[in-house]
Chains A and B, each alone.
Chain A
Amino acid sequence: MDTQPFIRIENVTKTFGEEVAVNNLSLDIGKNELFSLLGASGCGKTTLLRMIAGFEKPTSGRIIIDGVDLTNIPPFERPVNTVFQSYALFPHMTVEQNVAFGLKQEKTPKSEIEDRVASMLKMVELEGMRKRKPHQMSGGQRQRVALARALIKLPKVLLLDEPLAALDKKLRERTQFELVNIQELTGITFIMVTHDQEEAMTMSSRIGVMNAGMLQQVGTPSQIYEYPHSRYVADFIGEANIFEGILQKEDESNAYIECRELGQDFSIKRHDFAENNAPVAVMIRPEKMRITLEEEISDELNSVAGTVKDIAYLGDMSIYHVELESGRVLQASQLNFQHTAERKITWGDEVLLYWHPDNAVVLAQ
């Protein structure tokens, strides 16, 4: 077994004066991963990335890449390259000169530089733009120049700081797949910083959700989405119905929640984190919550009655806001299999919301 992870961030803290940007954070990242640091602005994700690049020095802690402690190594000696959020292309250089910059610093022979620049530009599909200056290019093209410039030295780790934030929606979606393809093609470990949860979900092998300088949860996109550990993660990723209750365990795999907000108890399957009788928060994703006009539901499922207050029609799906007798409003989303005109549920209908006990998740905090 490989005991030494490819990238190890060990108890790293970074303070700026009084302010703690990164708080005693530890994280292991494997080789060939596309790892995303996800969080709202100011959560410390960019500071962490800048410490890996070497632009900031940790106040305490160590950063080890491929067995080498890089904590005190300046950025120009690290086997790490960065795609900057603003791209930071050199405005006075052509595309070719920008991409060649890294190799030139290493005094690579001219003919080799030419070959590698050419193949790099081919990979990012910019062969026809070699002589252009950055200001003569579109945002998407500039982004690819930045990528080519950072990849040409074949770094051990590529850092991407909000690489797609400046692109419009369509281009962003296309570029997401391109980036994943390039990552798979080159086998370079990518660490990406983003505030866009969809971007993180689509692209990453694993996601680290950050808040207030700490990692809230690390896991695959589906782990993070389906089984968030905390209220913060559940709220940050996607939509969530969250309610408070008291956990009552029956045996190893069965339990129920006494829930005042719903005005009734309901059963759950997963309760890894909590003690018996403990007050807990429970989350159910809107798409896991079904809605029906029928009055009876199988005993296997949990259900609760309510009135349709609002329907948000999004085209591919609709989100129903259902008010319970307790006054609490829950969200349930439904794919629109049928044309809207044929859908039966409408405003003011008395409906039942129901969900499988598997789909309710107990949150740790």
Chain B
Amino acid sequence: MTGLMSKTANKLGRLSVLLIPFLWMTVFFLLPFLILLKISFSQTRTGIPPYTEVFEWAGGLLFKIHGTMENFYFLISDSLYFAAYTNSIKIAAISTLICLLIGYPMALGISRASPKVRNILLLLVILPFWTSFLIRVYAWIGLLKNEGLINHLLMALGIIDQPLVMLHTPFAVYLGISYSYLPFMVLPLYASLEKMDYSLLEAAADLGAKPMQAFLSVTIPQSMPGIIAGSMLVFIPAIGEFVIPDLLGGANTLMIGKVLWNEFFLNRDWPLASAVAVIMLVILVLPLVLWQRHQQVLEERDQ
């Protein structure tokens, strides 16, 4: 009797634990996405809300559907959107690479430091999070602008005569994204490098591998999970990034996050904006699925 009761209680407990994230995801992700999906099949109109209804009640359980694929056709026909998508992917990909090139030696250095120093270094990696993301990006404006700190310094030192134009250039966007997302690269890299069995490197050296060869044939493959996780954590949010290209990028910095914002708030074309968002989600979900599959393979390997 008590056994049965505790079993039921156990089941209930497990359900309630699952219920919270499930509800969270439903209310704050699935439902908004379904609304967005619905809007993407509607047409724009002046009024509140600024789009036509897709479902019309036709009495009883029947609905009339007034869906249209027009918005998606438009996305394909206007090269602006295609350019925005590919440019976003390009900027995200290059930023990810920059993060990897800077983050890998950092993570390697931290993982090899003595435990005491290691904690301080890790703290320093996380330290920027104590200031708002937005403020840190604004701070870069002060550094990069023509009358900014960097130009003043370089001119005072006599290295340049004319201020370097850095703000509102692609350079500023790469800098901003790489700077902002670097910790997301360093932390998973550190986690996988710190776990690495140091005797593997000794074994490689013992078998005649010079330090560089040992790094390439042992350290890199051993830290692959960290490389993939870090790259995902940088690449995915960077694709949809809006604040950094808006504040640091110029008019010619075309990113999908900015296009999305323009469609929603400047053109008030909610249906088209929704279609842009739906496509962006598909682009983002694809690498996530690949990652998931990779993780699964890893787990199976460990069994």
Contacts and interface: CB of A to CB of B under 8 A. Distances in A.
Interface string B206-231: 11111001000110011010000000
Nearest to B303: A135
- Does more than half of chain B's interface fall in helix, strand or loop, or is it mixed? helix
A56 to B, nearest CB: 10
B213 A82 contact: no
A76 B301 contact: no
Interface stretch (B7-15, B138-146, B197-205): B197-205
A153 B204 CA distance: 13
B56 interface: no
A299 to B, nearest CB: 61
Interface string B181-210: 000000000000000010110111111111
Contacts of B213: 105
Nearest to A106: B208
A82 B206 CA distance: 7
Size bin of chain B's contact surface? 20 to 34
Given A91-B222, A92-B222, A84 B202 contact: yes
A166 interface: no
Contacts of A135: 301-302
B297 to A, nearest CB: 12
A77 B211 CA distance: 12
A153 B209 CA distance: 13
Contact of A88 (B200, B208, B210, B301): B200
Contacts of B221: 90, 92
Interface string A101-131: 1100110000000000000000000000000
A313 interface: no
B199 A76 contact: no
Nearest to B203: A88
Given A84-B199, A88-B202, A102 B301 contact: no
Contacts of A88: 197, 199-200, 202-203
A53 B209 CA distance: 14
A55 interface: yes
A81 B207 contact: yes
Contact of B209 (A76, A80, A82, A149): A76
Contacts of B206: 53-55, 75-76, 80-82, 150
Interface in A59-114: 74-77, 80-82, 84, 86, 88-92, 101-102, 105-106
Contacts of B224: 92
Interface in A142-156: 149-150, 153
A80 B197 CA distance: 21
A76 B203 contact: no
Contacts of B222: 91-92
Contacts of A86: 197, 199
A361 B104 CA distance: 63
Contact of B205 (A75, A92, A150): A75
Given A92-B222, A133-B301, A105 B203 contact: no
A102 B202 CA distance: 13
A101 B204 contact: yes
B208 A90 contact: no
Contacts of B197: 86, 88
Interface in A7-53: 53
Contacts of A77: 208
A84 B208 contact: no
A149 B208 CA distance: 12
B207 to A, nearest CB: 4
A151 to B, nearest CB: 11
Given A92-B222, A135-B302, A102 B199 contact: no
B126 to A, nearest CB: 30
18 contacts: A55-B205, A75-B205, A76-B205, A76-B208, A77-B208, A81-B206, A82-B203, A86-B197, A86-B199, A88-B203, A90-B200, A90-B203, A90-B218, A91-B200, A101-B209, A105-B213, A135-B301, A153-B208
Top 7 A-B residue pairs of the complex, sorted by shortest distance between their CB atoms = A105-B208, A102-B207, A88-B203, A88-B199, A75-B205, A92-B221, A76-B205
